[in-house]
Structure 1
Amino acid sequence: MRQLLKISFLIGAFLVSKQAVAYPDFIGYGYSSCITCHYSGLGGGALNDYGRALFATEITSRSVFPASMDEEAIAASSGFLITKPLPWYFRPGIKYRGLYFQQNPNGSNEVNKWVNMQSDFNLNFFFDKKQTFALITTASYTAFDVPETTIDKWTIYAKEFYLRFKQSNNLWWYAGQMDKAYGIRNVDHMAVNRFPATDVGLNQYGQSLGVMAHFTYPTWDIAVNPFFGNVYTVPEKRQVGVSVVGEYQVYEKFKVGGSVLASESDETRWRLVGGTARWGLSKGSSLLAEAGLKEQTRKGTNLDPVLGAYAWVQSMVAIARGYNILTTIEQSRDDIQKSSAENLKYSFGLLAFPLPRTEFRLGLSNGKTNLDGTGVDDTWALQTQVHFSY
């Protein structure tokens, strides 16, 4: 952990001297509330009209637009039908993510593979012009079987579907299948703070039926989310419980927060607690961090609960508008009460938005496993990703 903190400090010091683009959270630009750009108040999922315009005018490279085209015209061309307006009562969207990766390049166990990570279609309906009452839906096409679910390869399923009601400017209600309220919703669903190797359900397929009350004010917000399990998860793995997430603005562009989650299925009980920080260091510059504890209990056995820990730090540094350096540090241990493996992962690469509605990633990651008395070879992975959002 001391090594992780030292590296995090160096990244923070480096960021102070350069402009960066905060993605997915724009706290460096003063956009501290996710509801500004997303239909979901906690972020993730489809972008609203303002989020689409912001993507075009803040994130995408300016070089692809003619010099005569001002920012207002660029924003006006960010709609689903380019400049043609849609009826007020619905908004569609399309999202595709593809990944090509090389594991252990040039090694004896080299692996080369293309993965269709995400193929989503959003269709969002509004029952009044002020969007006080809305139905948010996402259909997803999967190219592989999803373990411990009824989602088969090459099928289309309803990934999320929930009703959203704005009771007031300070209180929003959600009901249906949606992402759980916990931690920072970073886009990397394989990150340690998304718990990809567990059934706790915070990763790409971790949506759950539930209700959520989101209280939001200028300096603080909190969301309470009872949930009842994903409709596609096999019954014995279906996690039922409650989570709470909140943030407080210490000062402008600096927010600290916390999350707790308690849930269980017929087989496993989970208890999670985490702290978060989002720091806008200067205009556009940001640093995101999350760390916490995770306790897993295997029900129906004589095994003691296993208490683990995780930490995640991510920074972005802008080279030019639309081109950024992405750095991520991850650390985790499955059992901090006994001698167990410590897993570290360092990732560094390019995050680019060279064209409207397009994202490109090129990154190199190094994985280390530290275990007393045992030597484990490092793992390396070279990844190329292409994202299309329409």
Structure 2
Amino acid sequence: MRQLLNILIFIGVLIVSKQSVAYPDFIGYGYSSCITCHYNGLGGGALNDYGRALFATEITSRAVFPDSMEEETIGNASGFLVTQQMPWFFRPGIKYRGLYFQQNPNGSNEVNKWVNMQRDFNLNFFFDKKQNVSLITTASYADFDVPETTIDKWSIYAKEFYVRIKQSNNLWWYAGQMDKAYGIRNVDHTAVNRFPASDVGLNQYGQSLGVMAHFTYPVWDIAVNPFFGSVYTVSEKRQQGVAVTGEYQVYEKFKVGGSVLASESDQTRWRLAGVMTRMGLSKGTSVLAEAGLKEQTRKGTNLDPQLGSYAWVQSMVAITRGYNVLTTIEHSKDDIQKSSSENLKYTFGLLAFPLPRTEFRASLSNGKTNLDGAGVDDSWALQTQVHVSY
């Protein structure tokens, strides 16, 4: 409880302090709806043409461009073929994300490793010029066996594929394999609010077959998402259920919301509930936070359900255009009703967009685990990450 109190105090400091600038999302630029920049209305996945131009003209450093070059010229060069116009019915994209990490540096159990986290190729098709009906697809390459799935090592698989239909300005439909509608879709799939060590399926392999209705209005939006499990998940672990998420805009650049999810497989039942907030503090600056409860029931056993908690806060302090300080605090407890481990993680580092289509991260993480009557040595990790999108 003391750690949770510390996290709540930290959130409060971020919100009331005018000296703290943060932007882990674009709400600081006034873009409070993810559908402005992404084909998926809840964020994540491929960027649309506007999102590509925004990345080039508002997020990326101008250092490589002469002062005489106008922002419009930079934005017009953000397409897949640079300045060459693509056919209206087709948009491709390529994304790569690689991570080099060093665990417990200079320790007896030091680990050094390079991981290819993301190698995606997007093929997006549109059946009319206004993109009222679209087919969004992402193929990914795996260089290792993905546990508890049918994805084999050295294989290319269809990560996501769904049809998007715009019924009106206020209602969008999605059908196919896609990310579930829960919580804040931060890019770090190892974060506690993505439940990386569970089979609930919110991490990078958590896409699921389903349908989604997304209602979006100027000050609020809500998405309802029945899902039926991934085509790659082994049958006994395939989670089926429903997720609902929504946000309300209290005032400009400040949104609050919540999410619920109920699902089960032959082996496990999950119930999730969380609250979240996104606040823009000034142009290009914002803070995100999410906290909630997670209940896991192991079916076919005499074990009681485990009711755990999680909290995640991320801030980004702008140094100059294209360069930011990224800070994350994460907290989780497996069972708040019984004695169980309590995990706390602090991450501090640099997030930079030095060149068009590129992202660079360097961070230091400290992990703490608290057990009743026992202490565990802190874990440390140095990470360097490179992301290229085209």
TM-score by length of 1: 0.98
C-alpha displacement at 1:7, in angstroms?
Answer: 2.9
Partner of 1:385: 385
**CA–CA distance in structure 1, aligned partners of residues 316 and 189 of structure 2:** 18
- In 1, Cα distance between the equivalents of 2:61 and 2:281? 22
* Alpha-carbon offset, residue 320 of structure 1: 0.6
For 1:362 and 1:197, the matched residues in 2 are separated by 24
7, 10, 23: which one aligns with 2:10 = 7
**Counterpart of 1:281 in structure 2: which amino acid?**
L
Deviations 1:349-373 (Å, cap 9, x if unpaired)?
A: 0000001000000000000011121
Q: Which amino acid in structure 2 is aligned with residue 17 of structure 1?
A: Q
Contact 1:308/1:336, CA 8 A, preserved across alignment: yes
Q: Secondary structure at the match of 2:375?
A: coil
Identity of aligned residues (%): 82
Q: 1:338 to 1:19 in 2, by over 3 A?
A: closer
CA RMSD of aligned residues (A): 0.9
CA contact (8 A) 1:19 1:283 kept: no
Rounded to whole Å, the distance in 2 between the matches of 1:96 and 1:130 is 29
SS in structure 1 at match of 2:374: coil
Matching of residues 181-196 of structure 1 within 5 Å:
181-196=181-196
2:12 alignment partner AA: F
Asked whether the equivalents of residues 14 and 20 of structure 2 are also in contact (C-alpha less than 8 Å), the reply is no
SS at match of 1:63: coil
Q: CA offset at residue 206 of structure 1? A: 0.1
* Counterpart Cα distance in 1 of 2:318 and 2:170: 34
Deviation for aligned residue 1:265: 0.2
User: How far apart are the structure 2 equivalents of 1:200 and 1:303?
Assistant: 18
Unaligned runs of 5+ in 1: none
Counterpart CA distance in 2 for 1:318 and 1:64 is 19
Amino acid paired to 1:77? A
User: Where does residue 340 of structure 1 map in the other structure?
Assistant: 340
Q: Distance in 2 between matches of 1:10 and 1:133?
A: 44
Does 61-70 or 231-240 show the bigger shift? 61-70
Query: Equivalent residues in 2 for 1:112-151 (5 A)?
Result: 112-151=112-151
Match of 1:222 in 2: 222
The correspondence of residues 1-390 of structure 1 with structure 2, limited to 5 A, is 1-14=4-17, 16-17=18-19, 19-20=21-22, 22-23=23-24, 25-390=25-390
1:62 counterpart SS class: coil
Deviations 1:198-220 (A, max 9, x none): 00000000000000000000010
Residue type of the partner of 1:87? P
Q: Is contact 2:100–2:114 with CA below 8 Å preserved after alignment? A: yes
CA distance in 1, matches of 2:20, 2:309: 32
Whole-Å separation in 2 of the counterparts to 1:28 and 1:68: 27
- For residues 113-164 of structure 1, the C-alpha deviation after alignment (integer angstroms, 9 at most, x for no partner) is 0000010000000000000000000000012111100011111000000000
- CA distance in 2 between counterparts of 1:118 and 1:137 reads 15
SS of structure 1 residue aligned to 2:109: coil
TM-score, length-scaled by structure 2: 0.98
Distance 1:366 1:269 in 2: 31
